[in-house]
Amino acid sequence: MANNSTGTVFTVTTFGESHGPALGCIVDGCPAGLPLDIADIRAELSRRRPGGGGPSTTRAEADEPEILSGVFEGKTLGTPIAILVRNTNPRSGDYDALKDLYRPGHADWTWEAKYGFRDHRGGGRSSARETLGRVAAGAVAKAFLNTQGIVIRSWTSSAAGVDAPAFGSPGFDIDEVEKNPLRFPSRAGADRVLTKIENLRGLGDSAGGKVSCRVTGLKPGLGEPVFGKLDARLAAAMLSLGAAKGIEFGAGFSAAYAQGSANNDRPIPRRSSRDLPPGVPDLDYDTNTAGGVLGGLSTGMPLEFTVAFKPVPSIAQKQETVDRSGTVRELVIGGRHDVCVCPRAAPVVEAMTALVLADLVLLSRLDRANS
Amino acid sequence: MANNSTGTVFTVTTFGESHGPALGCIVDGCPAGLPLDIADIRAELSRRRPGGGGPSTTRAEADEPEILSGVFEGKTLGTPIAILVRNTNPRSGDYDALKDLYRPGHADWTWEAKYGFRDHRGGGRSSARETLGRVAAGAVAKAFLNTQGIVIRSWTSSAAGVDAPAFGSPGFDIDEVEKNPLRFPSRAGADRVLTKIENLRGLGDSAGGKVSCRVTGLKPGLGEPVFGKLDARLAAAMLSLGAAKGIEFGAGFSAAYAQGSANNDRPIPRRSSRDLPPGVPDLDYDTNTAGGVLGGLSTGMPLEFTVAFKPVPSIAQKQETVDRSGTVRELVIGGRHDVCVCPRAAPVVEAMTALVLADLVLLSRLDRANS
Amino acid sequence: MANNSTGTVFTVTTFGESHGPALGCIVDGCPAGLPLDIADIRAELSRRRPGGGGPSTTRAEADEPEILSGVFEGKTLGTPIAILVRNTNPRSGDYDALKDLYRPGHADWTWEAKYGFRDHRGGGRSSARETLGRVAAGAVAKAFLNTQGIVIRSWTSSAAGVDAPAFGSPGFDIDEVEKNPLRFPSRAGADRVLTKIENLRGLGDSAGGKVSCRVTGLKPGLGEPVFGKLDARLAAAMLSLGAAKGIEFGAGFSAAYAQGSANNDRPIPRRSSRDLPPGVPDLDYDTNTAGGVLGGLSTGMPLEFTVAFKPVPSIAQKQETVDRSGTVRELVIGGRHDVCVCPRAAPVVEAMTALVLADLVLLSRLDRANS
Amino acid sequence: MANNSTGTVFTVTTFGESHGPALGCIVDGCPAGLPLDIADIRAELSRRRPGGGGPSTTRAEADEPEILSGVFEGKTLGTPIAILVRNTNPRSGDYDALKDLYRPGHADWTWEAKYGFRDHRGGGRSSARETLGRVAAGAVAKAFLNTQGIVIRSWTSSAAGVDAPAFGSPGFDIDEVEKNPLRFPSRAGADRVLTKIENLRGLGDSAGGKVSCRVTGLKPGLGEPVFGKLDARLAAAMLSLGAAKGIEFGAGFSAAYAQGSANNDRPIPRRSSRDLPPGVPDLDYDTNTAGGVLGGLSTGMPLEFTVAFKPVPSIAQKQETVDRSGTVRELVIGGRHDVCVCPRAAPVVEAMTALVLADLVLLSRLDRANS
């Protein structure tokens, strides 16, 4: 499978450059008979659009999706679902000054080193706008996962140096996430972040942060050993996002400092049994340091992971770089840029999670000979 | 491609259970004409075997590899290279008592929840012994990468709560790594870890840790946007290792707390030019917070990442768990177990890195129409 | 890789139903820097459109392609090339009467047996109109193959019972192919076929036929043993066309009646040497019963194969079938239908051949370690 | 997926050269819990071994398989099933004289043109002995298909110019197939072929032939549009066999000369209903010119296809060829060679068919959202 596709049986191919005619995706392998509405896709695209007054870029395109195929009379056909979003407000001229300059922290030069050639407008395909196709595809995956009782929630768990309360701890409010432009799970925290971000914006600077994701409703045993493990698949999905620099599951990096006696989650009996193979008892765990995955397979406990994002590299401050002739040059980046990617990354994290899970849920139909 | 294969054009399929007849791999897509010797493979397998006196398990099998195909008169044929390692010292009886128990921190139950059935002996295919096939394949990949001037080095960068000095900082000694059983890049640090580990072993406990990896000699532009990015591929490779719980590239999670003005690596002119497409100047970066990857493509700076490993779940202390009937039971794990996986994980991290890089180096031959 | 994608490194995914909003494709893996013009694609699409006065359907849509991504300033970027063709003249109403009927010779019922659901309008995705995405992608592949000196020519080699002269034999005129609406390599033959076809049209009947394909300029050794052999790949490509019922290479089915002494092509010295690995002499063959492929690899002789197509199943005669309730019903198919698919299949055969060859040419860059 | 693997979810990778240490395969994606015995595999391997007194090579190795992984207590684990067959009787010396010569009709030179290098002993990997891994894998697939009521039968339908009676016609005797060394479905016909073959052997010549295959028990709707169609997949599988030169389904090449009114199979009501999606009536067809496949999906009628095989290229007669220096040379091939491949190809055709069908049966579990 080529570079721009992902998935084994529920596969997605994305296309499009930031300032080309359009972006979009093809979802291939979505089973037939799934109710799917353009509104499902529009809603997710709208979540990744710049919010009002928040830390996000002010490029406010409509991002109106069109379903080109694969849906008939409101249901999926089993054929490829192609979704198109036109670029309507490119303002390519903003980028003319950058044509021969390699922006620090961006892929301008590595892209040229590979292909010998690039679309310099807005980062071309290395733009975060590329995730638009992923989000559209993720909306299809979510529609499928909804029928399985699987719920995915993501939020900004750290931004501009402010950490959110941990899930379930005092002050953590999941209902707050979609109410503030930072997708921060605490109103007070969101206000603190906002202040920091406005301050950074004034300085022409940017901030890193983290996005956490939590999935409930997964049946135990989801994942494909040995190279298609649940956590391996998610790690690839998350590190395929432009600004991501790390991922951890459950206790994550702190597990590197833990001892086995404390880190081992203890199986405990479970009263109500989920759909398991004959002879296999259902169980829970007393803790969830594993983050819901053992041996690359879901444990049935909530799946929990966190992604680290670097500060937005497009800062307003004057920077030094090198130009196409190899000469040192000063660079000032104009245009529209987020201060912190996390609020807009959260729905993309959800979308990528949905793509991985839809694939694995379908693959689990193949686990046993007599299913 | 199915679960037990990885790679796009340089592909590897592994097979084998911990206590079955044999383990091994097929490397498919290794180009023809590469000199390859069984000694190359034997040497890597020997690196992942338990060391003498260190923190590792005492299961000391010969792990003697046999090349079954793909090599003729000392060179690769372009055909699949099958490598076999017999299991010669299984001691399966050690595991009889565990047959109906789900060990905490292991994949016993998740595996049964998926397949309805498992080989309980030594964890079956979810055993760390599965990595043997990966290391054998990695040795082939390394032989190829050697011809490209690419060098991969891994070491234990934290174990039992003791952090190693950072690469290049005072006290860091790369030459020490293969000299002590902990693969710790500092003799004094290794001694401190060893003391801690012996202490933990006495308590019937285990420890987590971290493995760092550094790759030099990569040409710029290696990686496949958007889903086959260098860091995405490596993240999947690392999280496919049983005990891995996280990965970070370059500044990693600390980048989440940084500002763009500090985090952006600044391009600077480079005197000697590597092999780049016409019209593209070569350059370096003044810092390497990116860890050698921008936009999913190598920057030509050293590739640097760190993997977090959880404590070994097989501890000697008595633990509570649930048995096949759903009843709470006490469990005592006998047999041979490491206290900390890092020393033996380091060569596996190198092997997985080699597999990813061999694939990406080959794919880079397809970048440009007139190559 | 999912159902609607093909190729290993030069991959194509098609989408679209006959009467949905649009059809098209994504070409992923086309190397960067290839000159590509919309006119190249338009020209190929126009070749598969119904001709004037010939045996083809009279549905005459513009089939105007739009490149949505992957091309910048007239050259490929190395990113996915998405190509869109709107359905502008659907006339879906023609199909209302067929909604609950399973047309003989069509995939109406098998499609429902699989998916439980179908887009009945014009056959939905099982329509020959699906090949539009393939032809658009094939135009990209052809642009690449042109740079390699590879030329693909297809023609109707049999239609309505009239066989064309064999390639190179008296009466065979390759220049005639694109001049007559039947793509028949003989003016006189074309006239005979046309008469037969008009006769069949009058009877409300249809005719089968054959399309032959010949490729020159292939370097020796193209193909990927063992499952990606040149002929295996082409066989899959051709049998993926709706009406194809068989394929043969070189002597083909007549080889089944031959003896080895006659069937073996004899290697003979070749004066001018092509680009071969060091130490390998170049050679020709005195005959080409192999059709240019030995052991699944190109021999450097012209690649020659023939595809058998069944008669168009949509005939105007009254037919008996079964409806959705399982009741026997009479059926009359209205709408626009070819009498024989061959003239329009020929450019599709070329397109599919181009897709396979582009993939194999790129893969051949990976053959040797020191390339 | 690389060259030596096939399948989407039920995948097979084969390895091994004719005179290397061993051949074999890995079956990855076989569901867990399938009863599997080494005897199943041994039986199929024995069917492809040279028979007694027939037209086959006299190289009579034991071909004893060993299961290295993936099976525990008589059932599949869901993990990769590795199967090994040692080469015990290589007689490599027979091939020394051919080291620098390119045998007519073989892949010696095309292989060198690709890889620059080959294992000349017995054709190396291009030997028909490579199919041993396929047959072992096919035995696993058959074990799975047996649980689905799917039965695959192949036979020699033409050899040395003698055509067998068509299936079901007078003189056709399916029970005869495994009773005579030619796998000819008629005792009298087998005798006629045997005489012809002995005659050809005396002349140092060889013969082509055809193998037909018939599969019953397929549920309707099997296959994956558009590139993974049932017939496309089978065509690739069959043309990946060394000596195959063509394939046809149902009426095949004769459909190219037919008219739609005669060629269309007519749907008719079916009394007993198979397992179909809600609302879809079950049906049969009054004829089966389609060979059991419409639109690339199974019709539920018997799947029928025929493969054309060229004459064995290794003939005892003196032949002219070119050597490594580019000089014309005389060549005499010694060693052990079949006169006609069909009898031994028949079980390989069955094995490849089984691989394709096992994959498609599993994929069909993904057809519908609410399965």
Residue of C nearest to A18 (CA): C69
**Which of D6, D8, D9, D13 to mutate to test binding with chain B, by most B CBs within 10 Å of its CB?**
D13
Whole-number pLDDT of residue C88: 86
Question: Which has more pLDDT, B190 or B272?
Answer: B190
CB contact under 8 A, D269 and C298: no
Q: How far is CA C62 from CA B256, C123, C127, in A?
A: 52, 20, 17
- What is the rounded average pLDDT of the residues D2-17? 96
Measured CA to CA, the distance from residue C275 to residue C290 in angstroms comes to 22
Whole-number pLDDT of residue C49: 84
**What residues are paired with B24 via a beta bridge?**
B15, B84
Residue of D nearest to A141 (CA): D369
The identity of residue A124, as a single letter, is G
Range of the domain at C85: 5-366
* Chain D residues whose beta carbon lies within 8 Å of the beta carbon of residue A8: 9
Residue C124, in any domain of the structure: yes
Band of the pLDDT at D53, cuts 50, 70, 90?
Answer: very low
Nearest by CB to D68, from B9, B15, B79: name it: B15
Whole-number pLDDT of residue B126: 95
CB contact under 8 A, B5 and D3: no
Measured CA to CA, the distance from residue C164 to residue C302 in angstroms comes to 19
Backbone dihedral region for residue D64 (phi beyond 0: left; psi -120 to 50: alpha; all else: beta): beta
Residue D168, in any domain of the structure: yes
Q: Is B246 strand, coil or helix?
A: strand
- What is the rounded average pLDDT of the residues B258-269? 98
Phi/psi for A70 (5° steps) reads 90, -5
Whole-number pLDDT of residue A52: 37
- Mean pLDDT of chain D, nearest integer: 94
Looking at the 3D structure of chain A, how many domains does it have?
1
Whole-number pLDDT of residue D335: 74
Instruction: Give yes or no for residue A254 having a pLDDT over 80.
Output: yes
Least confident among A333-337, B358-362, C2-6, C66-70 = A333-337
Distance from B165 to chain A by nearest Cα, in Å? 16
CB contact under 8 A, D366 and A33: no
CB contact under 8 A, C368 and B8: no
> Which secondary structure element, helix H or strand E, spans residue B321, and what is its range?
strand B319-322
Phi/psi for A7 (5° steps) reads 105, 155
pLDDT digits (tens, 9 = 90+) for D118-137: 999 989 999 999 999 999 99
CB B257 within 8 A of CB A208: yes
Chain B to chain D Cβ contacts (< 8 Å): 161
Measured CA to CA, the distance from residue C158 to residue D209 in angstroms comes to 24
Distance from B147 to chain C by nearest Cα, in Å? 8
Nearest by CB to A367, from D31, D144, D367: name it: D31
Q: How many CB atoms lie within 10 A of CB A279?
A: 10
- What is the rounded average pLDDT of the residues C222-233? 98
Residue of C nearest to B278 (CA): C33
Radius of gyration of chain A (CA): 21
Q: Is B221 strand, coil or helix?
A: coil
Distance from A248 to chain B by nearest Cα, in Å? 4
Measured CA to CA, the distance from residue B316 to residue B104 in angstroms comes to 12
Instruction: Give yes or no for residue C56 having a pLDDT over 60.
Output: no
Whole-number pLDDT of residue C52: 38
Chains in touch with B (≥3 Cβ pairs < 8 A): A, C, D
Whole-number pLDDT of residue A191: 97
CB B58 within 8 A of CB B336: yes
pLDDT digits (tens, 9 = 90+) for B274-317: 999 999 999 999 999 999 999 999 999 999 999 999 999 999 99
Residue of B nearest to A209 (CA): B256
Whole-number pLDDT of residue C217: 98
CB contact under 8 A, C15 and A5: no
> Which secondary structure element, helix H or strand E, spans residue A110, and what is its range?
helix A108-115
Longest dimension (CA), chain B: 70
Residue of A nearest to C18 (CA): A69
Residue A274, token pair as written in the block: 């989920």
CB contact under 8 A, B119 and D32: no
Chain C to chain D Cβ contacts (< 8 Å): 407
Instruction: Give yes or no for residue A30 having a pLDDT over 90.
Output: yes
Whole-number pLDDT of residue D167: 98
Residue of C nearest to B361 (CA): C366
Distance from B72 to chain D by nearest Cα, in Å? 6
Angle at the Cα of C163 from the Cα atoms of C168 and D239, rounded to 5 degrees:
80
Chains in touch with A (≥3 Cβ pairs < 8 A): B, C, D
Nearest by CB to A368, from D33, D225, D366: name it: D33
Measured CA to CA, the distance from residue B353 to residue B141 in angstroms comes to 9
CB A176 within 8 A of CB A167: no
Whole-number pLDDT of residue B334: 82
The size of chain C, in residues, is 371
- What is the rounded average pLDDT of the residues A252-266? 98
CB contact under 8 A, B24 and D82: yes
The answer to whether the peptide bond before residue A226 is cis (omega within 30 degrees of 0) is: yes
Band of the pLDDT at D52, cuts 50, 70, 90?
Answer: very low
* Chain C residues whose beta carbon lies within 8 Å of the beta carbon of residue B9: 8-9, 363, 366
Whole-number pLDDT of residue C90: 59
CB contact under 8 A, B9 and C366: yes
Angle at the Cα of C68 from the Cα atoms of C62 and C70, rounded to 5 degrees:
130
The size of chain D, in residues, is 371
The size of chain A, in residues, is 371
Residue D58, in any domain of the structure: yes
CB D76 within 8 A of CB D31: yes
Residue C371, in any domain of the structure: no
Q: DSSP letter string over A56-104?
A: S--------EEE-SSEETTEE-SS-EEEEEE-----GGGGGGGTTB--T
Distance from D294 to chain A by nearest Cα, in Å? 17
Band of the pLDDT at B52, cuts 50, 70, 90?
Answer: very low
pLDDT digits (tens, 9 = 90+) for A231-242: 999 999 999 999
CB D138 within 8 A of CB D44: yes
* Chain B residues whose beta carbon lies within 8 Å of the beta carbon of residue D77: 17, 115, 117-119, 124-125
Least confident among A286-290, C30-34, D60-64, D324-328 = D60-64
- CATH number reported for the structural domain that contains residue A355 in this entry: 3.60.150.10
* Chain C residues whose beta carbon lies within 8 Å of the beta carbon of residue A69: 15-17, 20-23, 125
CB contact under 8 A, A256 and B104: no
Count of H helices and E strands in chain D?
A: 7, 18
Q: How far is CA A312 from CA A197, B255, B260, B263, C247, in A?
A: 12, 10, 6, 9, 56
Residue A316, in any domain of the structure: yes
Q: How far is CA B136 from the centre of its chain?
A: 12
CB contact under 8 A, A205 and B263: no
CB contact under 8 A, D28 and B5: yes
Residue D1, in any domain of the structure: no
